[in-house]
Every structure is written in C-alpha cells, then in structure tokens.
Chain A
Amino acid sequence: MGTVVRADATGVLETAATRRSPLERLDGRVRIVAAAAFALVVVALPDFAALIVALAAAAGVMLAARLPVLRTLRRVVAMDTFIVFMIALLPFTVPGDPLFSVFGFPASREGLAEGARIALVANAVVLMAMGLLASFEPVGFGRALAGLGAPERLVHLLLFVVRYIDVLEQEQQRLRRAMRARCFRPATSRHTWISIGHLVGMMLIRALERSERILKAMKCRGFTDRLHLDAPPRLGRTDLVFASCFAGLLFGLVLWEVVRAAGH
C-alpha cells in the first residue's frame, strides 16, 4: 500500500506532457481565465443539448492538448466513480413522475435528469480543466496566478508548496521504507492508525525544522522580508486568437440558452 501517486520520475505534480501541443505556447493567464469562465458558464447551463456541445468542446481541447489519453481517462473515471453514489440516489429522492422502480422504490424522471445533468457538467469541466491546465508547469501556474492579480503572499505560499511537495513525498517514502524494514504492514487496526499518526507527526516535526533551515538559508543570501515575482510576458497573437475563439464558444452557449428560455 503506497500512495495514489505513481512514483513517476517527474514527481507528484509534474505532468509528463512531453508531446508538442498547439496549446503549450498559450499564455498561462489566458488558460486560467478560459477554464474558469468555461466552468462558470457550464455550471449554469440547464439544457442537455448545450451541455453535450460543451462536453464535446472540452473533449476537443483535451485532444488538442495531447495529454496522455489513458492517464487522463483514468482520472476522469476516478472522478465519476466518486460522484456516482451521490447521483445514484437522486432519482429516488427527487419527487416527480415515476419512471421505474428498484426494490419497490420509485425512480423519478426529474431525479434521473438532474443526476445526468450533474454528470455531464462535472465531466465537461474536468475535461476542459485537464486540457487547459494539467499541462502547466507548476511554477508557471503560480506566476500566471500572480499575473491575474492573486495576493502576492498566496502566490509565494503556492510556490513553496509546489517546491516542497516532492521533497516531502520522498521523505514520506523514506519513513515508510523504514517502517517496512521493521515489518510494519498496514491493516485495519489501532496499531496501524497510531503508527501512521506517528508518521504524520514526524513529517510535521521535520517539516518545521526544515522550514527553519530554509529561512536561515534565505537570510544568508540576503533575504530581507521581500520575495520577488517577475513581470508576466505580453500576450501574443496566438493568445488573442484563442481567447476570441473561446469567448465565441462561451457566448454561443449562453445565447443558445437565452434563446431556448425565451422560446418556452
């Protein structure tokens, strides 16, 4: 029993998106804003046809990003199995026309539709997020957030987290190896919980001590309560073209919804 993260040579956050993609030259700020705007619009769409278009667009962007297909799908499936229990209850708890029944409990058409809508929205947003964001280099993601006006200290916090996740993950593996060497085997037992509690406690203690060393090293190099972020680059033509196309797509989805609502 290890972690859910496969020990890729690239680390916990690093995506192995080495294949060239037409999206990789896109400015980070454009990608973040596009993904956020897409999520906001899709969450507000009640219509199935519009949602299917959104899902198709998300799948298209994901393909254009040329992410490793199998790994990406595995993550989407993981999310779907996660939400399925919540959705599966809806037909039985939302009142409406009974469509069929399971063990005598009637399932309503309205509940089924609501469950299907949630599944479509969640999948569309996650595919688009993967397509636009998962290929980020973590530090670039922090810089792009700063370029969008995120609080400076929050960005520095994020950069520190990004930097030290891999370091601490390796530390965790080292401690786990030491436990295994002493014949520790995880089981459903109090002993396991206490041992893992000690593991987490030890990691926290070492983390605090490590941060003290980091601060000393920073001070040694002239740190005087200021951290710096470089200015974001100017937006290029690719960015503007992509942003306009994307805005067009979102505007189209909203317009569709408005027209449909007016028609009713």
Chain B
Amino acid sequence: MHIVDGALSMPVLVAGSAIAVAGIGIGLKQMPIEKIPAAGVLSATFFVASLVHVPIGPSSVHLIVNGLAGLVLGWAAFPALFVALLLQAVFFGFGGLTVLGVNTVDIALPAVAVHYLCRPGIVRGSPQVAAIWGAIGGALAIALTTVCVGVALAFSGEGFVAAAKLVFVAHLPVMAIEGVLSGAAIHLARRVKPELFEAFSPRPQGA
C-alpha cells in the first residue's frame, strides 16, 4: 500500500513529513537508550513479518501487521515503522523517497490509534477477550491505513478519489486476514508472555 514518488502534491508531502517527524520525535522520547535493543529486535520482527505472504485465492498478499506493532510498541511504532520503510526504500527500491513521510504516517498513525483504542482491552481482559480486541485492532489498523492513503491521494487530486475507494475495497479481505491473524498472535502472547504489552507502555505497571 505504498504510494510512489510523483503521485502526491507538494502540500500533502510537506504535511505528511511534518507529522512523521513529530511522531518519530514522540516515539524516540519514549525509547530510552536501554530500550533500544528491545525496540530494535521487535522492529526487525515486524520487518520480517511484513515479508510473510499469505495466500488469498489464486494470489497472495504480504502482511502489514501495523496493528500488532501499535499494540506492542505504542508511539515507538513511529520510529520502528519509519526505519522499516526507509530500509525497504533504500535496499529494495520499494516505496519512494519523497513519500517516505506520508507512507510512515499512513502506517504508523493507525498503529498509535489502535494502541490507545485496543490496548486496555488486551491488558485487562482474559486471553479470549484480548484476542477479540487484538482482532479488532488488527483489522482497524488496516482500515485506517487505507483511509489515510485515501485522504493523501484525495488531497492531491480529484482524479485519485476513485483509486482511493478502490484501495479501501481491495483491502477488505486484507482486513479480515490481519484481524484473525492479530487476534491469534495476541491470544498466544497473552498466555505465554504478557510482558510483551508492558515493554513500551509509558507507565510500567507493577514492574
């Protein structure tokens, strides 16, 4: 769901970059130097997870898992996902350079939103309840990402509105997949290692 160079107008590029810089700043502030190993290894995990392909009919889609990233990393998802996109742009030639800010916001802002909306349900409830919140978070993050992409496109030109709607519809199956998948991942993590959701919370609870 990356937007490439050339499609967006200058104001959208500037606004996207400004929001991305602010988000990365907040994320880095919540990431003291001794959290860097955890943040780095978890970011690498999300990078590797985004290379996993899931079959869908005759084709396949790659995972985004930004919902999970938000649930685990909180605001640190901003620098984490920015680094992932930067590495993809530089080493795979995927995405674009001027759109790096916009693409970061498109993926990381929904992650942060999911963090605030769904994390309470995941930390407090039973693993089953947590799984449901995880599924909601996983699907919601993709939905919000397509909305962000759509907004960025629509502000760049009327001609893109149809493409923006198409992006949303095309991602309905992805929302279902990421929802079920995130729910399963959260269910497992809650039973095996609930500390995963405390690693990057601003207020360490009982630790």
A residues sitting closer than 8 Å to B (CB atoms) are: 1-5, 12-13, 15, 35-36, 39-40, 42-44, 72, 75-76, 78-79, 82-83, 85-86, 89-90, 92-94, 111, 114, 117-122, 125-126, 129-130, 133-134, 136, 138, 141, 151, 153-154, 156-165, 167-169, 172, 186-188, 190, 192-205, 207-212, 214-215, 218, 225-227
Inter-chain contact B54/A201, CB cutoff 8 Å:
no
What residues of chain A lie closer than 8 Å to B79, measured between beta carbons? 153-154, 157
Inter-chain contact B51/A111, CB cutoff 8 Å:
no
Question: Whole-angstrom distance between the alpha carbons of A194 and B37 in the complex?
Answer: 28
Q: Is B56 an interface residue (CB 8 A)?
A: yes
- Residue-wise, chain B 64-95 has the 8 Å CB interface mask toward A (1 for contact) of 01001000100000011011101101111110
Inter-chain contact B43/A125, CB cutoff 8 Å:
no
Inter-chain contact A90/B37, CB cutoff 8 Å:
no
Residue of A nearest to B80 (CB): A157
Inter-chain contact A90/B48, CB cutoff 8 Å:
no
What 3 pairs between A and B have smallest CB-CB spacing? Answer: A160-B40, A197-B184, A121-B6
Question: Whole-angstrom distance between the alpha carbons of A198 and B180 in the complex?
Answer: 10
13 A-B contacts, Cβ less than 8 Å apart? A39-B5, A39-B98, A86-B160, A90-B159, A90-B163, A93-B160, A120-B6, A122-B7, A125-B6, A151-B24, A157-B39, A168-B41, A211-B40
Inter-chain contact B157/A94, CB cutoff 8 Å:
yes
Inter-chain contact B180/A194, CB cutoff 8 Å:
yes
The residue among B36, B57, B184 with the most chain A CB atoms within 10 A of its own CB is B36
Question: Whole-angstrom distance between the alpha carbons of A217 and B45 in the complex?
Answer: 20
Inter-chain contact A4/B62, CB cutoff 8 Å:
yes
Determine, out of B104-112, B140-148, B185-193, the stretch whose residues face the partner at the interface.
Answer: B185-193
Q: Is B13 an interface residue (CB 8 A)?
A: yes
Per the 8 Å Cβ criterion, residues 114-167 of B in contact with A are: 157-163, 166
B residues sitting closer than 8 Å to A (CB atoms) are: 2, 4-7, 10, 13, 24, 28, 31-34, 36-45, 47-49, 51-57, 60, 62-63, 65, 68, 72, 79-80, 82-84, 86-87, 89-94, 96-98, 157-163, 166, 177, 180-189, 192-193, 195-196, 199
Taking a contact as CB atoms closer than 8 A, the residue among A42, A93, A118 that contacts B7 in the complex is: A118
Question: Whole-angstrom distance between the alpha carbons of A39 and B98 in the complex?
Answer: 6
Question: Whole-angstrom distance between the alpha carbons of A11 and B56 in the complex?
Answer: 27
What residues of chain A lie closer than 8 Å to B199, measured between beta carbons? 208
Taking a contact as CB atoms closer than 8 A, the residue among B6, B42, B163, B177 that contacts A85 in the complex is: B163
